[in-house]
Amino acid sequence: MGHPIKRKEDARFIQGKGNYVDDIKLPGMLYMDIVRSPYAYAKIKNINAEEALKVPGVVAVVTGKDLEQYNLHWMPTLMSDTQMVLPTDTVMYQSQEVAAVIATSRYAARDGKEAVMVDYEPMQAVVDPYKALEPEAPVLRSDKEGRTNNHIWHWEAGNKEETEKVFAGADVVVSEHMHIPRIHVASIETCGCVADYDKVNNHLTMYMTTQAPHAIRTVIALVAGHVGLTEEKVRVISPDIGGGFGGKVPVYPGYVIAIAVSFLVGKPVKWIEDRSENLQADSFARDYHITAEMAGTKEGKILATRFKILADHGYTDAAANPSKFPTGLFSIGTGSYDYGASFMEADAVYTNKPPGGVAYRCSFRVTEAVHAIERITDRFATEIGKDPADLRMENFIKKEDFPWKSPTGWEYDSGDYHAGLQKAMDAIDYEGLRKEQVEKRERGELMGIGISTFTEIVGAGPSKDFDILGIKMFDSAEIRVHPTGKAIARFGTKSQGQGHETTYAQIVAEELGIPAEHIQIEEGDTDTAPYGLGTYASRSTPTAGAAAAIAARKLRDKARKIAAYLLEVSEEDLEWEPGKFFVKGAPEKAKTIQEIVFAAYTNHPQGMEAGFEATHYYDPPNLTFPSGAYICVVDIDSETYEIKVRRFVAIDDCGNIINPMIVQGQVHGGLTQGLAPAMYEELIYDEDGNILNGTLMDYLVPTAVESPNWETGHTITPSPHHPIGAKGVGESPTVGAPPAIANAIVDALSVYGITHMDIPITPYKIFKTLKEKGVIE
């Protein structure tokens, strides 16, 4: 009786050895498949499950009406909006979950799903976010009392009056409208879970693909506490999840339905999405329509920026942003430049598309912000006829001016933007390339050079400003050193392939002098790890990495006391070198960390607490502000418009580097994920809300074949407030690459008077644009 799997077996799933949710097989496990809507907006007239229930192996079909009896048919989103688990009367986007089929095998569940008959009454979908705001647009969220339109929220940052004054008096004002299109995280593994409710002990073990296990446990308790699943009765285990990139932060309906079914039938229930479901129905990223403007002098001094955004959130605001930041950290969009006036505003709107707004490898909305500022900076350079590298060099915030207060209220911690761009220019031979470009242009060849010099903002966050659903953002580390000097360290974050097992061990090793190979790292199990907000937005190093260093320092303080006792000297007489304390001036009188730890269990001073363990919950005093200087060179075939990224140099500055190989790996992968939206990826909907590229046959995820040879390097400007001077890095390349590529392509096409193109920029889009401009017939 009771729970079929005990801890020894569970531990298999948290060791980082390629154990995915889909590998989990539990006795009596049932499988779930989901019936999805073919319409983007429709009334559900009837769901007939009779034939489905006749399919051998099918045990149940669950609808919204079934969940309604337990008040589980709606759930909160991370932005405190509401989202259907299963609909009771209306579907709001194509591929929305309509019913769940539970069966004894995956195949039976799929057959059962095909046999469920649903009668719909289709309605005209609202797809265009601008049209959604028109007074005659149907009110999509009629479930919300008193709603009269589709507007969700308005947001502002910066100084409106001051900015308008500067714009009004400026020599030069440039403006571009940009759409940063809807894209989708395409992790190696899709989302999935095994919900295992143990009726005897009233306990739920939830194995799931989540980047934030603790926050999810709290959300489960908030949503299902009223039926008995209170927080102590819930254990969330996030094994190897096959990549996350922000897409595995939200709670998807499939997870909740699996929990509800397991709770009702008392058996484990597995749900694994297929590729198309993942692409069509899970949270999207981006989808910002931005008007970006820059004002400056004709000599090239940037004076002010202005950004106006329309954010398409689909049918519910399920963005994974901190509560106080509905546009994420878009307000970093003032960029790396020294000027004092900026104003930004955003409006969010409901449409008949899937919900989301996930921070796809990005600190909430930083990718959108960086694209806007880096594109408009190039636009300004073109307008005044200045080289974009010179314009940047002349306007950068100077190294000695940090900490620097941005017009939208951030305090940039440190940076050396001149050094970064210079290094990138030297590495790529910028001057040589410009000369080559002149020659090529004379021969009618299309060659472009694009720069992006971005400032990032990572490490959410200081708890005074940052929370998710009211839970303050901080992160944690717990270190236990065993008597023989070997350690286990556990964290509130959750690696999805970023190598925390290596880098966290390095931090503890560096601080305590215990070899990294003797430090076991664990994350992702709410029963064992200290509470934390998880891994996304490059926050692990700035938060949990810092917690590891401070927890280790607490242990070092204890080690000093024990060493003083063992060596019979005062603490002040001791000096530390990694791995041992020795007496000043008498280095042969020393105690190694292993001897000290052993004494903590066998021979510690009277009155001192035994053991050698420490925990730290780190609340960062500020975010960290990594930066980068990227330069891209493209050649465009003047007949087919095929775009070739000939060279791409990426110089990143993430402060002190813990592990150069991991950082380089992060940058390489991130650059390809930046190439993706610049040249390939976009989710496309027709006017009825049908997704036109809902499979990986049509949605073009670039691979190694499309990736150029990334040339990487770094500068190091330590963060002054982080305990080891590190800043986050994981998302910098995804954020910095798209504008560098777009700027290069636009630069190549500037010979035709082109000043802007929306990403993804494809050969066909170039062809169409040139045709529209009358350049070609």
Q: Which of 181, 247, 499, 669 binds ligand CDP (CB under 6 A)?
A: 499
Indicate the residue among 153 and 402 with the shorter CB distance to ligand CDP.
Answer: 402
Q: Based on DSSP, count helices (H) and strands (E) in the chain, helices before strands.
A: 19, 34
Taking the least distance from each CB to ligand CDP, the nearer of 150 and 209 is 209
CA distance 761 to 480: 51
Q: How many CA atoms lie within 13 A of 357 on its CB side?
A: 33
275 is catalytic: no
Q: Please, are residues 550 and 510 in contact by the beta-carbon 8 Å criterion?
A: no
User: What does 643-710 look like in DSSP terms, one character per residue?
Assistant: EEEEEEEEEEE-BS-S-HHHHHHHHHHHHHHHHHHHHT----B-TT--BS--STTTS----TTT---E
Asked if 363 is part of the footprint of ligand CDP (rule: CB under 6 A), the reply reads: no
| Nearer to ligand CDP among residue 90 and residue 664 (C-beta) | 664
Q: Which two tokens stand for residue 750?
A: 């500037």
Q: Which of 34, 344, 381, 729 binds ligand CDP (CB under 6 A)?
A: 729
Which CB atom, from 102 or from 359, has the smaller least distance to ligand CDP?
A: 359
Point out which span in 249-257, 347-355, 535-543, 689-697 binds ligand CDP (CB under 6 A). 535-543
717 part of the interface to ligand CDP, by CB under 6 A? no
| Least spacing, CB of residue 187 vs ligand CDP, in Å | 13
Q: Does 722 bind ligand CDP (CB under 6 A)?
A: no
CA 601 to CA 202: how far, in whole Å?
37
User: Does residue 366 belong to the site contacting ligand CDP (CB under 6 A)?
Assistant: no
- The Cα 247–Cα 358 span in angstroms is 6
> Which residue is catalytic, options 217, 361, 365, 392?
361
Q: Quick check: 187 and 247 in contact, CB under 8 A?
A: yes
CB of 736 to ligand CDP, least distance (A): 13
Q: What SS3 state is found at 491?
A: strand
Q: Smallest distance, Å, CB 729 to ligand CDP?
A: 4
> Tokens for 561?
């006391």
Residue 310: phi and psi, rounded to 5, are: -115, 120
Contact pick of 235, 500, 591, 616 for ligand CDP (by CB under 6 A): 500
211 is catalytic: yes
Of 352 and 624, CB closest to ligand CDP? 624
Tracing tokens 């994350």 back to the chain, one arrives at 523
Binding residues for ligand CDP restricted to 651-690, rule: CB under 6 A? 654-659, 662-663, 666
Give the SS3 label for residue 180.
strand
Reply yes or no on whether 731 is catalytic.
yes
Among 539, 580, 616, 721, the residue binding ligand CDP under the rule CB under 6 A is: 539
- Name the segment binding ligand CDP (CB under 6 A); options: 197-205, 370-378, 495-503, 560-568: 495-503
Task: Report the interhelical angle of 388-395 vs 366-384 (nearest 10°).
Answer: 110
- Buried/exposed 524-538: b ≥16 CB within 10 Å, e otherwise: bbbebbbbbbbbbbb
Residue from 519, 726, 754, 757 touching ligand CDP (CB under 6 A): that is: 726
Please select the residue that binds ligand CDP; options are 342, 408, 538, 594, rule is CB under 6 A: 538
**Gap between the Cα atoms of 651 and 729, Å rounded:** 12
Which of 458, 152, 537, 473 shows the shortest CA–CA distance to 323?
473
Give the nearer residue to ligand CDP in terms of CB position, either 420 or 545.
545
CB of 726 to ligand CDP, least distance (A): 4
Q: Which positions ≥6 away from 374 have C-beta within 8 Å?
A: 335, 451, 452, 453, 454, 739, 740, 743
Active-site annotation holder among 362, 490, 664, 666 = 362
Q: How many residues interact with ligand CDP (rule CB under 6 A)?
A: 24
Nearer to ligand CDP, 280 or 498 (CB): 498
Tell me which of 96, 211, 498, 506 is the catalytic residue.
211
Residue 461 CA from chain centroid, whole number:
14
Q: How far is the CB of 598 from ligand CDP (least distance, A)?
A: 30
| Contact predicate 679/636, CB 8 Å | no
In the complex, minimum distance from the CB of residue 544 to ligand CDP, in angstroms, rounded to a whole number: 8
Min CB(657)–ligand CDP separation in Å: 5
Question: For residues 543 and 743, which CB has a smaller minimum distance to ligand CDP in the complex?
Answer: 543
Q: Least distance to ligand CDP from the beta carbon of 651, Å?
A: 14
Q: In the bound complex, what is the minimum distance in angstroms from residue 708's beta carbon to ligand CDP?
A: 22
- Phi, psi of 242, deg, nearest 5: 70, 40
Q: Which is nearer to ligand CDP, 296 or 328 (CB)?
A: 328
Q: 613, 478 in Cβ contact below 8 A?
A: yes
Q: Whole-angstrom Cα distance, residue 279 to residue 474?
A: 31
Comparing CB distances to ligand CDP, the nearer of 700 and 716 is 716
Q: Which of residues 587-646 bind ligand CDP (CB under 6 A)?
A: none
Question: Which of 87, 728, 738, 739 touches ligand CDP (CB under 6 A)?
Answer: 728
Q: By CB neighbour count within 10 A (0-12 exposed, 13-18 middle, 19+ buried), where does 438 fall?
A: exposed
Query: For binding to ligand CDP (CB under 6 A), which residues are involved?
Result: 498-500, 503, 535, 538-541, 545, 654-659, 662-663, 666, 726-730
Catalytic residues: 211, 361-362, 731
